[in-house]
Amino acid sequence: MRIDFWTLDEHQAFIKQIQPESRYYILFQILYWTGMRIGELLALTKSDIDFRSCKISITKTYYRNDGQDIITAPKTNSSIRVIEIPGFLAEEIEKYMSRIYGLKDEQRLFPIVQEAVQHKLKREIQKGNLHKIRVHDFRHSHVAYLIHQGIEPLIIKERLGHKDIKMTLNTYGHLYPTRQREVADMLDKIHVENGKEENGKGTNESQ
């Protein structure tokens, strides 16, 4: 399975083009640094963010149908989860929320539709002559970054809300660097060390 994603450098080049205090700045930051689905992000409310412990609760998803805003539970129980977020992102979200006058606990943080996000992304990509990706590819970008940092597949599975580890490995397994050379080098080292020990024993016996 081929997936597209942005490296951290590509994301930083993209995000620098967007006004830091704007809705889209924090929206794309959340997508990149959490890996949540766009529907999950558009369903977020004030009550879903725990700034003290730097956590976001994912309990619902948003979509538009026949001109109506629909918010439902995620498709699977595994999608209901809590995502730990870095302190800098929590601060950015809190500042964004502080600028929304009279924000209520159950009010959506981003009262827009997916098409608006897609159009904004497309415009900014063209503006910066950046590698083209889709909104969903921010999820892939987050995973690629975690893999580059050496994060284990099980942790990534839990963060993404995958039903099982097979789904995670089937999608992202090819991004993990091969460790075959590492294994061979380890065996080589053990063989050499054992050889030295055997030689040492032989010397002692002859004496």
Position 124 scores a pLDDT of 97
- In the chain, % helix, strand, coil (3-state, to 5) comes to 55, 10, 35
pLDDT confidence band for 201 (50 / 70 / 90): low
Structure confidence by residue, pLDDT tens digits, 144-197: 999 989 899 999 999 999 999 998 988 888 887 766 677 778 888 888 888 766
Reported as type and span, the H/E element at residue 65 is strand 61-65
Could you give the C-alpha distances from 106 to 34, 42, 186, 191, 195, in angstroms and in order? 21, 12, 55, 63, 68
CA dihedral in degrees (152, 155, 158, 160; nearest 10)?
A: -60
Superfamily for the 8-174 domain: Intergrase catalytic core (1.10.443.10)
Spell out the domain ranges in the chain: 8-174, 179-207
pLDDT confidence band for 207 (50 / 70 / 90): very low
Position 176 scores a pLDDT of 79
With 0-12 / 13-18 / 19 or more C-beta atoms within 10 angstroms meaning exposed / middle / buried, residue 15 is: middle
Active site residues: 37, 75, 136, 139, 162, 172
The predicted model gives 13-34 an average pLDDT of 96
